[in-house]
Amino acid sequence: MLNYMIYILAFAAGSILGLVYSYKQHGEPFVADTKFNIVAAIIAIVGWVLAFNSGNVILSAIGFALGAFVMGERPGYGRRETALGLIIAIMIYLILKFYSMM
């Protein structure tokens, strides 16, 4: 039960930090930047891979915080980077599960 509370708190903290960072970085009132952010994509990939595949409570919490950081940006920002991170993390998870069954 305590593990889930740690994950929820890490996700909430990462989401809040991502929102604050996004407001400082983008001052415009609507989505004007449509470029793919490489740094945010790397953060999302590392975060979601750690969250789903680490097997350690601390590393999973750090992964949820990093994933939520990108996911929690202002509406319209970070959506493609988050999707890429989730897709790669799920693929790695499935590959690891497949190889562990053999």
Residuewise pLDDT in 10s, the chain (102 residues): 777 899 999 999 999 999 999 888 877 777 666 788 899 999 999 999 999 998 889 999 999 999 999 998 887 788 899 999 999 999 999 999 998 887
Report pLDDT for 33.
65
For residues 14 and 69, the answer to whether their CB atoms sit within 8 Å is yes
Report pLDDT for 70.
93
Report pLDDT for 39.
92
**pTM score of the predicted model:** 0.87
**Alpha helix ranges (H) inside the chain:** 2-25, 38-53, 57-71, 79-101
For residues 63 and 19, the answer to whether their CB atoms sit within 8 Å is no
For residues 59 and 18, the answer to whether their CB atoms sit within 8 Å is no
Report pLDDT for 73.
85
